[in-house]
Structure 1
Amino acid sequence: METKIQKWGNSLAIRIPKSFAKEAKLDYNTEVEMTIEEERLIIKPVKYKKYKLSDLLKEITKHNIHKEIDTGQAQGKELL
């Protein structure tokens, strides 16, 4: 598909057809990553890695565990 680059304020803009957006899993306000590769503009949705607490806890060792931090007396309902 061919399209034209438009002016948007001091920037340039390209309209993404609905069919392209759907196939690329893009929606209004989707965070995207833009890169240039061999004079090509690549736009793709940002994918965040989902972590499980159990996997994160497995990574704690005696070498990287933080010491307890004294923050003073409880001010509210921090301690139940």
Structure 2
Amino acid sequence: MKSKVQKWGNSLGVRIPNSMAKEIGLKEGMSVKFYIEDGAIVIRPAECDLETLLSQITPENLHEEIVVEGPVGREVW
């Protein structure tokens, strides 16, 4: 698949086709990491640590506690 490099401010940008973004679970607003490997630019979803994930919890996206009716496998309660 081909795309065109465009100028965005002082940087260059490339649009990622929706089908490719969906394939790797990439969504708008997600952090990514990119690096050069064997002469190619590689883009991957950024890995988050627990502190980063917890900092993104807001009253709007906080869900209620989930009640589980006992073990469903070999869990120890």
Note whether the superposition's TM-score is higher than 0.5.
Answer: yes
Instruction: Spell out structure 1 runs of 4+ moving beyond 4 A.
Output: none
Superposition pairs of residues 39-78 of structure 1, within 5 angstroms: 39-48=39-48
User: Are 1:17 and 2:12 counterparts?
Assistant: no
RMSD, matched Cα: 1.3
TM-score by length of structure 1 reads 0.57
State the shift of 1:49 in Å: 5.4
Aligned-pair identity in percent equals 44
**What residue identity is the alignment partner of 1:2?**
K
Q: Is 2:4 the partner of 1:36? A: no
- How many pairs were matched up? 50
Does residue 8 (structure 1) correspond to residue 3 (structure 2)? The answer is no
Give the TM-score normalised by the residue count of structure 2.
0.59
**C-alpha separation in 1, matches of 2:34 and 2:28:** 16
User: For residue 29 of structure 1, what is the amino acid of its counterpart?
Assistant: G
Where in structure 2 are there 5+ consecutive unaligned residues? 51-77
